[in-house]
Structure 1
Amino acid sequence: MSRHGSVRTTAAVFSLISICVAHVVLYARAQANTRGFISIDCGSPPSAGYVDVVTWLPYVPDAQFVDAGVSHNISAEHAGMIDLKLPRLYNDLRSFPTGARNCYTVRSLTPGTKYLVRATFLHGNYDGLGPGGLAVFDLHLGVNFWQTVNVSSVSDTFQAEIIAVVPDDYVQVCLVGKKGLGTPFISGLELRPLPDTLYPVVANASLSMAVHGRYNLGPDDEKPIVRYPSDPHDRVWKVLANLRSWNPANTTGTVRYVAGDQFEVPSAVMQTAATVDDGFSLRFYWGAYESNKELDYFAVLHMAELRRLNGSEARICEVYLNNGLWYSKPFSPEFRYSSSMFGMVAGSTEYSFRIEPTANSTLPPLLNALEIYVMVPTAERATHGGDVSAIMAIKAKYEIKRNWMGDPCGPKIYLWDGVGCNYAISSAPRITSLNLSSNGLAGEITTLLSNLTALQNLDLSHNSLTGNIPEFLA
């Protein structure tokens, strides 16, 4: 979540493996393709689809993705910020005052594809309780913990973002309440497919990474965030406020990246940078989320020279982490070519970095952009896909009103009422028993039950079912 960690002095910089390749064919930027983009305005009226006036992306109401919760508008005093400073999706929200776990199910995805999933939040004093209505709750991506959301202000926006490989043709984003810590809510949910070549550290569904911070360095504090269409992948690049010791640098020329670049930072971000006075180092530090030194981080440092240097000038730097040399080789950014240095960071509650000019450098260090991610294990298996499809169809057929939200079998603490599962070590959980007694079921016994191919026990007693017993139950 963009608020869950603090980058206090400027940003972060990490292990350096330069991927700048000289004299190669530049990647030709095609017109941004929004195929596969899904943009959901949570809590909006069912017929209130619209096109965002900044991104020109279409947003749809959330009714088709969730069957629980209560829609609200934010208070009038906070609604004045909408259109002036904030996107329209913040105008309303959906809260979940009941149920331990409430989930959005987004379908028609491409299995095995890497997605950027972003959840957005603005309390906006929707309940009239002021600070008393604030909340702390967890987000789950499917059956796996994503992160904790701590809404500490009625007027601040919050974003939680994760990059993950989605193994199925659907994904579930769940809000999990914490007893006594307020009512979970959500303002917006966005999914953006990413090319396999981007962020290769996320190679499969067992490991994801949540955004700790993604920053654009160098512009003044009033510059708006950079996202789509400037970034065709619709990543949100926020401005990191310059310190007095920083000097902004910029260019109007296009900053390109090479073919096969693993990050594809947009030119609008790379056209600005932060630097310092001659003879000084560029320093910054950031703290681990909740001071947890057990967390693993992945950090990316983006650099590009913004003016053509003359023959007597050189910008050559080294990076230090917590007073130790981080990368053995000095590096020098290329003119209007994006270079990215990246690596894993772990084992500390605070990370202090400095970029130092080498003895033969005539210019101070420079940094254009920064990304920091928390590595999130997502290896817990979801229920067998065929079982999920079958039980969801049964739920819809009989309009079952239970705590049937999210994955049927996992996590075990949220196992659906009346559902029993078998948990094998090397395969997905299977639904092996189903108790639908005394649920007010009416009509014929549906053949959809036959699609639960691992089912061993079924109880349909004390309902108003009619017709013959299907052959598969005989």
Structure 2
Amino acid sequence: MTKSNSLQICLVKTGPTTPFISSLELRPLRNDIYISPYGSLKLLHRVGMATFGTIRYPDDVYDRSWNTYESANALGITAAPNVNSSNQYELPEVIITSAATPTFSNYSFRIDYGVYNRDDQVFMYLHFAEIRTLEANDTREFDIIWPGNISTLAYRPKKLQIETLFNVLPNECEGGSCIVELVRTKKSTLPPLLNAYEVYTVIDLQYSETFSEDVIAINNIKAAYRLNILSWQGDPCLPQEYRYLSDRGLKGIIAPAFQNLTQLQKLDLSSNSLTGEIPEFLANMKSLSNM
């Protein structure tokens, strides 16, 4: 998941073979969910606690893929489809109308999951809804223990209303193994309950995100020289050995859009068929180095 409203994919040749792609599928999401100040997120697990088989579109309007929770220590329960799903995550109905509790009522609920790398930073989203009508003397209350994070104490799922909790700070899993535990409090007469959970790791991108203004400028340059997709190679944010605008058969003047690349340090327009005078704005671009 990216933090931007647009996405451009660049395949970079780093060896003797030519990179290629067979297909690319994107899923739009609301921009107010899965927000992380630490970078883009990569899905690790997405699980419905009391579902059967894989759930995707049309059950999930965003075509997220939900897998089944498989454990002998969980007991699935369901409810009539009258649970209020009005939160920004827009979960499938089968997710919000089903949940799981520990097989034995005095047990805690322990969710174990692993990460690919020992140093991965992890965000977890827990989806809760009290889908059962409780008796007058019943209470469902539990602590949510987030290792290495601020725990949520004495939590009570909302009656027939989905609610999503997530760790504000990323977790680092000791030894590559992660645990989140739902522990029944002394006041509670009922065991913990969970509808679904999602786990994401923070992607450590090697290169910084391109400024949106630079993307606009590059697209304007592309339009000015009528560069088609087959001749458009390279990326201004990638190493200099990958060619970009030199020897591209460019014709005409040096496009004014170049001046909008405010961080441009080196401009190589050699081996093209450009005409006209060198524009004054190039001399005023302080970022350009004298070489």
- Report TM bin, short chain: 0.7 to 0.9
1:368-387 equivalence runs, <5 A: 368-376=195-203, 380-382=208-210, 384-387=214-217
| Superposition deviation, residue 337 in structure 1 | 0.8
Q: How many Å separate the matches in 2 of 1:266 and 1:190?
A: 19
Report the secondary structure of 2:208's partner residue.
Answer: coil
1:187-206 equivalence runs, <5 A: 187-195=23-31, 197-201=32-36
Q: Residue 177 and residue 320 in structure 1: after superposition, are their counterparts in 2 closer, same or farther (change >3 A)?
A: farther
Q: How many Å separate the matches in 1 of 2:68 and 2:258?
A: 52
Q: What is aligned with 1:240?
A: 68
Unaligned runs of 5+ in 2: 281-291
1:165–1:208: 8 Å Cα contact kept in structure 2? no
Q: Residue 227 and residue 450 in structure 1: after superposition, are their counterparts in 2 closer, same or farther (change >3 A)?
A: same
2:141–2:192: 8 Å Cα contact kept in structure 1? yes
| Per-residue deviation, residues 119-155 of structure 1 (Å, max 9, x unmatched) | xxxxxxxxxxxxxxxxxxxxxxxxxxxxxxxxxxxxx
Q: Provide TM-score, normalisation by structure 1.
A: 0.49
Unaligned runs of 5+ in 1: 1-161, 420-433
1:450–1:472: 8 Å Cα contact kept in structure 2? no
Task: Say how many residue pairs are matched.
Answer: 268
2:254–2:279: 8 Å Cα contact kept in structure 1? no
- Is the aligned partner of 1:253 residue 2:81? yes
Out of 46, 52, 70, which is 1:214 matched to?
46
| Superposition deviation, residue 207 in structure 1 | 2.4
| Superposition deviation, residue 336 in structure 1 | 1.1
Report the secondary structure of 1:388's partner residue.
Answer: helix
- Is the aligned partner of 1:304 residue 2:129? yes
| Per-residue deviation, residues 10-54 of structure 1 (Å, max 9, x unmatched) | xxxxxxxxxxxxxxxxxxxxxxxxxxxxxxxxxxxxxxxxxxxxx
Out of 217, 220, 237, which is 1:410 matched to?
237
RMSD over aligned CA atoms reads: 3.6
Report the secondary structure of 1:215's partner residue.
Answer: strand
Q: Residue 328 and residue 275 in structure 1: after superposition, are their counterparts in 2 closer, same or farther (change >3 A)?
A: closer
Q: How many Å separate the matches in 2 of 1:309 and 1:256?
A: 17
Report the secondary structure of 1:363's partner residue.
Answer: coil
Q: Residue 400 and residue 182 in structure 1: after superposition, are their counterparts in 2 closer, same or farther (change >3 A)?
A: closer
| Superposition deviation, residue 254 in structure 1 | 2.6
More strand per residue: 1 or 2? Answer: 1
Greater CA radius of gyration, 1 or 2?
A: 2
Q: How many Å separate the matches in 2 of 1:329 and 1:389?
A: 51
| Superposition deviation, residue 215 in structure 1 | 1.7
1:200–1:262: 8 Å Cα contact kept in structure 2? no
| Superposition deviation, residue 270 in structure 1 | 1.1
Q: Provide TM-score, normalisation by structure 2.
A: 0.75
Q: Residue 456 and residue 328 in structure 1: after superposition, are their counterparts in 2 closer, same or farther (change >3 A)?
A: closer
| Superposition deviation, residue 218 in structure 1 | 0.4
Seq. identity, %: 19
1:352-371 equivalence runs, <5 A: 352-371=179-198
Report the secondary structure of 1:451's partner residue.
Answer: helix
Out of 100, 125, 134, which is 1:274 matched to?
100
AA aligned opposite 1:190: L
1:284-303 equivalence runs, <5 A: 284-290=111-117, 292-293=118-119, 295-303=120-128
Q: What is aligned with 1:231?
A: 60
Q: What is aligned with 2:153?
A: 329
